[in-house]
């Protein structure tokens, strides 16, 4: 097993013990994700191409005894904060912080299964918050997986993803698509997920070459716009779709868009151009991966970033700089494409890099980015990993 995960397991168990004074009896993990292609497409019913990564949120837990029988207590080591949530009276309001995600999942889970016994849980995570790597989906999915473990009631994987998405909609107020929660649950080692967000069918696609790896560069900036602009994009696209007289973006071709361009405002046209072209690019990306066409992969990633920057307008100068530096290094230096990943307005880029040069490339990007921004980026090379699951508690760790 991955060394990082092993260490986090120990941290979770240790954190539980020091907070609650006894060893935990349950342990679960949920990964973060990157998306290789199909950005801002999941909530338009298109296809996306994400993968779970080696960044994780873990929860160690134990059923409570005595008076606190109906209270779930969550302690987060990263924030050094504790939340007490009554299971017989789950709050319906938004807390405005990390508790939203947990409360939302508790509320959803309580509709499908009886939760009549309180518990204590310690959370540890190495997924950076607000970096576009789905730390919130991992928190939701870890909570749902923990509830499955504690109650013995297993949700169907798709129901679990939908429940977690609802938690985000209703308790965090973000009208997100299904990609993040789905990836966090359905992730598989060494595979990207080709997910049709309309039918929710999926297949798995490997990287074309064992010599390729994903390099994630965290710009370390996070612009406030992220969640407000997300909802705005969703509304703009809905308005454009109506004006295009279409029910689904999947039915809008480039030709139809061009023929109807006068019906759209300039910004609606930009949004529409991104959605239509990104839906096409995702299918082309799958073909290119299957054909091992590295030149095409790099070209598609470049086009996707430009479209997100200029048409969907969800990038920022720091992400653009990371992509520019990666493109300067180019296939000659071992990079086969780079683009922003996730919601945007800060966060991370994802690049496909040659394994043997990966560390060197990360160093080159870091130093050039730091020289121009005075910000130290956080880069990591990640395998594609398995989705959320319960973990055995080894006698040593408990």
| Minimum CB distance to ligand GLA smaller for 31 or for 177 | 177
Minimal distance, residue 113 CB to ligand GLA, in Å: 25
| Minimum CB distance to ligand GLA smaller for 119 or for 249 | 249
Catalytic residue (choose from 180, 196, 293, 311): 180
Minimal distance, residue 176 CB to ligand GLA, in Å: 3
| Minimum CB distance to ligand GLA smaller for 108 or for 118 | 108
| Minimum CB distance to ligand GLA smaller for 35 or for 338 | 35
Q: What is the four-CA torsion angle of 190, 196, 199, 202, rounded to 10 degrees?
A: -20
Minimal distance, residue 24 CB to ligand GLA, in Å: 30
**Other beta carbons less than 10 A from residue 7's beta carbon:** 12
| Minimum CB distance to ligand GLA smaller for 9 or for 236 | 236
Minimal distance, residue 230 CB to ligand GLA, in Å: 7
Minimal distance, residue 178 CB to ligand GLA, in Å: 7
Minimal distance, residue 306 CB to ligand GLA, in Å: 16
Which residues contribute to the site for ligand GLA (CB under 6 A)?
Answer: 35, 39-40, 42-43, 176-177, 179-180, 342-343
Rounded CA-CA distance 245/398 in Å is 59
Whether the CB-CB separation of 167 and 140 falls below 8 Å is answered with yes
| Minimum CB distance to ligand GLA smaller for 120 or for 180 | 180
Q: Give exposure, 267-276, as e/b (b: 16+ Cβ within 10 Å).
A: ebbbbbbbbb
Whether the CB-CB separation of 60 and 122 falls below 8 Å is answered with yes
Minimal distance, residue 164 CB to ligand GLA, in Å: 11
| Minimum CB distance to ligand GLA smaller for 35 or for 218 | 35
Query: Is 180 in the active site?
Result: yes
Which residue's Cβ lies closest to ligand GLA? 176
Q: Which residues are catalytic?
A: 180
């Amino acid at each position: 097993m991955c060394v990082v995960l092993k260490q986090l397991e120990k941290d979770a168990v240790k954190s539980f013990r020091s907070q609650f004074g006894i060893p935990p009896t349950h342990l679960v993990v949920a990964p973060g994700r990157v998306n290789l292609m199909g950005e801002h497409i999941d909530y338009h019913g298109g296809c996306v191409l994400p993968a779970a990564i080696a960044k994780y949120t873990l929860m160690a837990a134990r059923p409570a005894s005595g008076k606190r029988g109906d209270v779930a207590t969550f302690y987060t080591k990263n924030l050094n904060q504790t939340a007490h949530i009554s299971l017989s009276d789950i709050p319906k309001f938004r807390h405005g912080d990390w508790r939203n995600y947990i409360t939302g999942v508790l509320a959803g889970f309580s509709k499908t299964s009886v939760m009549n016994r309180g518990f204590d849980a310690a959370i540890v995570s190495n997924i950076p918050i607000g970096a576009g790597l789905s730390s919130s989906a991992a928190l939701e999915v870890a909570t749902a997986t923990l509830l499955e473990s504690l109650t013995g009631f297993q949700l169907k994987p798709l129901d679990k993803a939908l429940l977690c998405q609802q938690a985000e909609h209703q308790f965090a107020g973000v009208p997100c698509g299904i990609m993040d929660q789905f990836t966090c649950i359905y992730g598989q080692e060494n595979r990207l997920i080709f997910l049709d967000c309309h039918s929710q069918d999926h297949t798995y696609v490997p990287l074309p070459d064992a010599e390729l790896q994903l390099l994630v560069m965290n710009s370390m900036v996070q612009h406030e716009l992220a969640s407000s602009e997300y909802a705005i994009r969703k509304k703009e696209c809905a308005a454009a779709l109506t004006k295009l007289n279409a029910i689904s973006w999947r039915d809008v071709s480039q030709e139809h868009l061009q023929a109807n361009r006068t019906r759209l405002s300039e910004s609606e046209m930009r949004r529409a151009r991104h959605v239509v072209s990104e839906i096409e690019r995702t299918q082309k990306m799958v073909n290119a991966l299957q054909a091992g066409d590295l030149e095409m992969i790099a070209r598609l990633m470049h086009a996707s970033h430009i479209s997100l920057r200029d048409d969907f307008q969800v990038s920022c100068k720091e992400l653009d700089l990371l992509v520019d530096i990666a493109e300067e290094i180019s296939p000659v230096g071992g990079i086969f494409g780079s683009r922003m990943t996730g919601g945007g307005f800060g966060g991370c880029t994802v690049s496909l890099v040659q394994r043997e040069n990966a560390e060197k490339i990360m160093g080159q990007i870091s130093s050039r980015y730091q020289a121009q921004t005075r910000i130290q980026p956080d880069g990591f090379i990640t395998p594609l990993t398995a989705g959320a699951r319960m973990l055995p508690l080894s006698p040593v760790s408990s």
